[in-house]
Structure 1
């Protein structure tokens, strides 16, 4: 990965120099706001900064100070800033350190993931973050390594392999620091038989400290010799059938948090594998610890308490979204609470001491349940939501979730949480021949659900920026937004909420009212959240541009044309982005290519199980990967095989699917041509006769 640094304007350099006069007072006033040293800034993970040098009153003076182009295939990430140095990881976990005030590159580390990841490259994701502690930067790789780097030099200090190289597990989420330990989970619960766990390592040495399994294993094998041994017999009683043959799932693929007061690590566990409980656990049961918040003792990894958000989860509702810590005054007394807005549309306020629910208001449309019974902690489910007897159910929210991994933020002054909310429906239904469902290996998505019946048409859906009051347990205001996915939020003591949008704008809202009060044309959609920090008393705001989706958007950010950049702002900034001329990528075709409908049907089955995640629903890409209709390689059988089967583009994030036969590869090529012609503009050049 290469960075191209753009030079500061003279005016921006003068602004930086003038900051020296306010350095002492700024740091003294907000001593804990100088750095953004963790995913959510501090171990509270609330994405809140007390800095107020940039505020709602002077936001109109905020301007670009410097920018740097990032040559990567995926930049859905947020940086860290410590001691005037900016750190970030993108793509194949390539970590870069830059001077936070000028953008000068200090060092770069490439773990060369594509050379060793093998079949794990098929997951198709980059990295969503890094961690920092004790002069070390921590990054995790898709192939399963957890790596510690010296923050000054970028030199590797240690590396620990956390996964079995043979299974379908991979890492896309950030590491999480907990005292003298760094903790890592992994993904893969949609792809194959993997059993969830998290592992803690000593920050200084990389030696494994403990491991906690999130779901029970094969009961015939006995204890795992892990920190979870004492609770696995209890968890196993909530499962039925032979779930261990399918791994169980429960992967902790993203959110965690460290509670310094209680010295605990909180895990947000994932969905089961497959999603459909009738296959995974045919006799029902709660299936612990799927879809749960699990509290562990930091020193030992032992279970302290758990709260299961979705017992017997059968919808891909999971708890990989933000886990934030706060102290709120509830019923007249301070309560140590955990704030959590998972996929299912309800906002949970839990007591951190014992995990009991305090409130669970609805922050988004949800029809799978009418509410949460606070006495039992269990949802009041709609019986139809489990699609009994194979009856399709049109569900709010969809498995994408009412809140995905784009960050929410909690402002300690306004008392509001700012959530990038999604409103989308999905039909959930059993697959044909439910009893005969089989796991299909090869990093394909194996949900255990069927295709929606013909005739059911769903609206496109939408999104909002929602301000939720966790004390009153209600939405205070919401701002309608474009499309489905928008960027994560941060909030500040200056009455601001910063968010990147899929429109290509980087914007600021008034934290108390939701009024948009500032906007910058970033020339690209943004999913990662911004950060804010100070250098020599001057407050900066940095965001990394880049957009990816499994669905087409308006505007639609073409994978090849995205302006992936690091953008840094400060008061008085005068730098400008270069002018970008729009490039229209035409749909490719060859009139001599005759589509074979039978072959295209084979290709459609493969595409819609796996390729769709990156290359887009209906083969209309949403920025995560190239639009195959516009690519030339599918027109050339040898070139296509070299990429898909041979792994020629693994450095750019495209996996090596050497499990596909020549017939399957040919089927995909025919399906690509079929969809290209179906979606091409109706012109003479694009109208090609195909055999019947």
Structure 2
């Protein structure tokens, strides 16, 4: 049953019902892949991240893009059949932590299901794109919910979760009738305040005993199901991957401790009732953003002499889990990366052996491995039943984590994670700017030597799923360079990279067989299908997602326009056109001389704090950032600054209004801080220009002079 799909058609996001991202097509082989070239491409008219894998049925390719737009194309020619541009409340962008991405559509019985950023689930007609029904997926709480994941059909219901664990959301997943859109049931992943009355179901009554009665119920608890919803028809179960808690550290979220079910867990639900069949918590009492929301793979493996139905899962926390789909029993758990939050998994209990001396940052700054970007993340792995290997992007990296003293007040629809973190690749450069007591504490940590040695790396790996051992590895360019994977029965592995190359490897050896320079960063998983005897390989291209404002210098999106596209290849295809190169970087424009020239240090400090609390998650203020670099505002932008920030002048461009949270004096303080930054960076860049040096790589010494 796990082989249904991924033959001539690619009817599900993962290709088949197992979500293996494996295709049985064999026309493109190691011997002829050198002739692979572009068949056609399709512009998506956006510069935001592309994370979806298209679906293809009977010669029609359907996919989603920014914020939940959808399109259907002739799979052989790229000709547009229909396009769906929903009216989206772009205020939802304010509570989307990681770009306006969308991870795909579900297709079932002539219907296309897609969820939009503002939390609306649509059912569209497969042939025409007309709306059949729509459902508001909010729960009436008024919290900071958004939707970025792909829906999943399970029999006569379609399920969707939500995003926002860093904000103030209490996570849940909802099932809707596929024909009418009527809500059938809703499963909350964390309990509510027990003083507010009975929980919604018996499983939550049990879960609430794993939380402190005085938990931060006002914040919501987190546990969002923003990806990883998978239906298993063999056992009539829906598996959901649950996200991190909010606030991050359990000491603030649930002060007396506890496992905090069902955070960072895989939960098997009955698709008819929404009741729990079984659960397995990968990270009890999660304090490190170790979500369990990475895509799952369903297959059968021989374990201890028995053909066993298993679920493979490589979440953020650094382990590769093999779980029995019948009952949720842990069969294997092997480390994929260096980690210090635990010393391993107890095979008898299935629980991690915690190492609080290394990882409990409530007692002071700690360098935690793996970091919050995860040993793996949303980028789909591929399981190839012929080689028996699991192929995917694996990241060796950590981060420094710190916690502010006391409890921060609840911020409505605001970031409530209440922790500071710095990724280890940035830590040596950033550390001198931190308070001296933090510097001393960090340098005394045993992991500091690892940071200084620069051992961080990202790789495409072929992994033995039962041992976790790497059979072969191919390097990515850096920690932001990861992508989804496709494998085929002909022995090929397809994966893009952030540098802009679409790469094809030998599945057995890892040898690079073909590399196509597309000029576009690729992070999504490819797929393949056949029309009229021709095999095509398709992939979405466009930089974004987690860490999206920080465009890496090695990325194609740093050098060229970040034009979102669908790229489709075939044997004998042509050259792939590249987006235009961006113009050379010029010194930052001069800020108006008289604007906030007399701003006090207190005002600037207030503006800086507000900026990093509310704005920096999108506006990284780095060179070539996808969102505007606010150190480079033109004179007319300064004139309408408050109209943009408080009145929502550019809300349709994705810049939400903050007038409900910020007062005019707050906006002025942010503006004053940014003008100071603009004057500072302009002085640096004018000096670099005078010396004939590149503007995008100022030295720390030069910056310190300004």
Q: Same fold (TM over 0.5)?
A: yes
The answer to whether the Cα contact below 8 Å between 1:189 and 1:270 also exists between their aligned partners in 2 is: yes
Contact 1:413 1:493 in 2 (8 A): yes
**Do the aligned residues in 2 keep the contact of 1:489 with 1:498 (CA within 8 Å)?**
yes
How do 1:426-465 and structure 2 match up within 5 A?
426-431=399-404, 433-434=405-406, 436-444=407-415, 446-449=417-420, 453-454=438-439, 456=442, 458=451, 461-465=456-460
| 2:89 counterpart residue number | 114
Task: Describe how 1:393-404 pairs up with structure 2 within 5 A.
Answer: 393-404=366-377
After superposition, give the CA deviation of every residue in 1:558-617 in whole Å (9 maximum; x if it has no partner).
59921321111001112541573442243423152548444332232233233232222x
Q: What is the CA-CA distance between 1:114 and the residue it aligns to? A: 3.1
Question: What per-residue deviation string (whole Å, max 9, x for no partner) do you get for residues 218-272 of structure 1?
Answer: 2133335x5xx02111101100023322211111111111111000000100111
Give secondary structure in 2 for the equivalent of 1:607. helix
Taking the aligned partners of 2:463 and 2:247, their CA distance within structure 1 comes to 32
Q: Equivalent of 2:22, from 48, 53, 67?
A: 48
Q: 1:249 maps to what in 2?
A: 222
1:605 corresponds to: 609
Residue in structure 2 matched with residue 655 of structure 1 by the alignment: 656
C-alpha deviation, 1:277, in angstroms: 0.7
Q: Is the 8 A contact 1:559 1:626 kept in 2?
A: no
Match of 1:201 among 176, 189, 197: 176
The answer (yes or no) to whether the contact 1:101–1:535 under 8 Å persists in 2 is yes
Offset at residue 538 of structure 1 (A): 1.2
Please list every run of 5 or more consecutive structure 2 residues that lacks an aligned counterpart in the other structure: 423-433, 443-447, 691-701
* 1:155 pairs with 2:157: no
In 2, Cα distance between the equivalents of 1:87 and 1:661?
Answer: 44
Counterpart contact for 1:30–1:51, Cα < 8 Å:
no
Question: In the alignment, what sits opposite 1:522?
Answer: 518
The separation in 2 between residues aligned to 1:282 and 1:187, in whole angstroms, is 24
Gaps of 5+ in 1: 1-28
For 1:232, the equivalent position in structure 2 comes to: 204
Aligned residue in 2 for 1:7: none
- Find the counterpart in structure 2 of residue 625 from structure 1: 627
Name the counterpart of 2:56: 81
Structure 1 range deviating more: 238-247 or 593-602: 593-602
Whole-Å Cα distance in 2 between the matches of residues 88 and 237 of structure 1?
Answer: 42
* Residue aligned with 1:237, SS: helix
Q: Distance in 1 between matches of 2:4 and 2:223?
A: 39
Quote the residue 2:149 is aligned against: 173
Shift of 1:215: 0.8
Separation of aligned partners in 2, 1:622 and 1:500: 21
C-alpha change, 1:115 and 1:257, in structure 2 (3 Å) is closer
Which deviates the most, 531-540 or 646-655? 646-655
RMSD across aligned C-alpha pairs, in angstroms?
Answer: 2.8
SS at match of 1:33: coil
Aligned counterpart in structure 1 of residue 363 of structure 2, from 390, 395, 401? 390
Q: 1:602 to 1:107 in 2, by over 3 A?
A: same
1-structure distance, mates of 2:374, 2:120:
29
Deviations 1:366-423 (A, max 9, x none): 1111111111011111122442662221111111111111121111111111121122
> Alpha carbons of 1:283 and 1:148: their partners in 2 closer, same or farther (altered >3 Å)?
same
Task: Check whether the contact 1:321–1:343 (CA below 8 A) recurs between aligned residues.
Answer: yes
1:561 corresponds to 2:561: yes
User: Given the superposition, is the C-alpha separation of residues 389 and 87 from structure 1 closer, same or farther in structure 2, using an over 3 Å criterion?
Assistant: closer
- Structure 2 CA distance, aligned partners of 1:409 and 1:254? 16
Distance 1:54 1:660, change over 3 A: same
**1:97 positional shift:** 0.9
Match of 2:339 in 1: 366
**Counterpart among 44, 51, 68 of residue 93 in structure 1:** 68
Query: Which stretch of the first structure deviates more once superposed, 125-134 or 289-298?
Result: 125-134
**CA distance, structure 1, for counterparts of residue 118 and residue 685 of structure 2:** 44
Given that residues 73 and 652 in structure 1 are in contact (C-alpha distance below 8 angstroms), is that contact kept between their aligned partners in structure 2? no
1:3 aligns with none
Name the structure 1 match of 2:428. none
What does residue 536 of structure 2 align with?
540
Residue 319 of structure 1: which of 275, 292, 305 is its match?
A: 292
Task: Describe the SS at the equivalent of 1:645.
Answer: helix
The verdict on how the C-alpha distance between 1:440 and 1:543 changes in structure 2, with shifts beyond 3 A counting, is: same
Aligned to 1:637: 638
Say if 1:398 and 1:118 are closer, same or farther in 2 by CA, change over 3 A.
closer
Q: Tell me, what secondary structure is at the counterpart of 1:636? A: helix
What TM-score results when the alignment is normalised by the length of structure 1?
Answer: 0.89
Give the whole-Å Cα distance in 1 for the aligned partners of 2:681 and 2:57: 48
Alignment of 1:503 with 2:499, yes or no, is yes
1:691 offset after TM fit, Å? 14
CA contact (8 A) 2:238 2:270 kept: yes
Deviation at 1:477, TM superposition (A): 2.0
* Cα pair 1:144 1:163 within 8 Å, conserved: yes
CA contact (8 A) 1:92 1:653 kept: no
For normalisation by structure 2, the TM-score amounts to 0.87
Q: Find the counterpart in structure 2 of residue 420 from structure 1.
A: 393
1:321 CA drift (Å): 0.5
1:475 correspondence with 2:467:
no
- 1:668 aligns to what SS in structure 2? helix
Report the counterpart of residue 166 of structure 2 in structure 1.
190
Q: How far does the alpha carbon of each residue in 1:149-182 deviate from its partner, in whole angstroms, 9 at most, with x for none?
A: 0010000000011114621111111111112211
